[in-house]
Amino acid sequence: MNRRALAPEERGLILLLAAALMVSGIVLLRPSGSPTSSTPSVDAIVLENVRVLIPTFDARRSRININSATEEELATLPGIGEVLARRIVAHREAHGGFTRIDRLIDVSGIGEVLLSRLRDHVTLDD
């Protein structure tokens, strides 16, 4: 692969961007302790007075019941966002509760790969 040399302006821009990132002081905050509730944990990324909350799923906590979970709770599962959570609830309401976790495959947008990722995080039991 042929690489061309960077022009002085390009090198300067790259160095300027790198310096700006170092000076801005990007800080990653993680909650301490081990939460025990079924509320999703939240990681906060602080970037110059701007805080973005990112819901995360903590596998150490109890599993989410796919027959009683809200859209918000379902959206915290790995690979499930708002759209798939809404589809799961709509499928559950249209066809009754799920009798097996494998039946999640009937929800549009959930395939074998996603289903395999979800197995350890969901349950049918309370």
Q: Which two tokens stand for residue 46?
A: 């602080």
Q: pLDDT (tens digit, 9 = 90+) per residue, 95-120?
A: 999 999 999 999 999 999 999 999 99
Q: pLDDT (tens digit, 9 = 90+) per residue, 68-90?
A: 999 999 999 999 999 999 999 99
Q: pLDDT (tens digit, 9 = 90+) per residue, 38-52?
A: 555 666 665 666 665
Q: pLDDT (tens digit, 9 = 90+) per residue, 18-43?
A: 766 666 654 444 444 544 545 556 66
End-to-end CA distance of the chain: 57
CATH 1.10.150.320 fits 64-123, yes or no: yes
Cβ neighbours of 46 (radius 10 Å): 13
Residue 105 DSSP code: G
Domain chopping of the chain, boundaries: 8-56, 64-123
